[in-house]
Amino acid sequence: MNRVELLARLAQAEPLRHTPAGLPVLRMQLEHESEVLEAGLPRAVTLSLKAVALGELAVTLARVQANSEIQVVGFLAPQRQGSDRLVLHIQQLVSAH
């Protein structure tokens, strides 16, 4: 299963664009900081992740202010075929603050 749920800060978003077929696309950069337990020990996690949303979800996320905290659900996929770089494909916006 490939499912990611993440609480992150919307660091920046590119302008809303459309595919040749007219589907809205929003590319953005998310930043996350937390502390998790690993093998019983606390571990600080700080990461920056590229993300993309399509359709009406892209339109909704385009209205979210930069530096807002968002909780999203999606899946990870390579940036392009054969790439080692991953992109979070957002499928659901759980909350935005």
CA distances from 72 to 4, 19, 21, 54, 82 (A): 8, 22, 25, 13, 26
- Report whether 7 contacts 30 (CB < 8 A): no
Q: How many domains does the chain have?
A: 1
pLDDT of residue 38: 96
Tens-place pLDDT, residues 34-86: 999 999 999 999 999 999 999 999 999 999 999 999 999 999 999 999 999 99
Q: Is the confidence at residue 26, as pLDDT, over 90? A: yes
pTM for the structure as a whole = 0.93
Range of the domain at 37: 4-96
pLDDT of residue 6: 97
pLDDT of residue 97: 87
Nearest in space to 8 (alpha carbons), one of 64, 85, 78: 64
CA distances from 69 to 31, 38, 44, 80 (A): 9, 25, 18, 27
Tens-place pLDDT, residues 10-22: 999 999 999 999 9
CATH at residue 67: 2.40.50.140
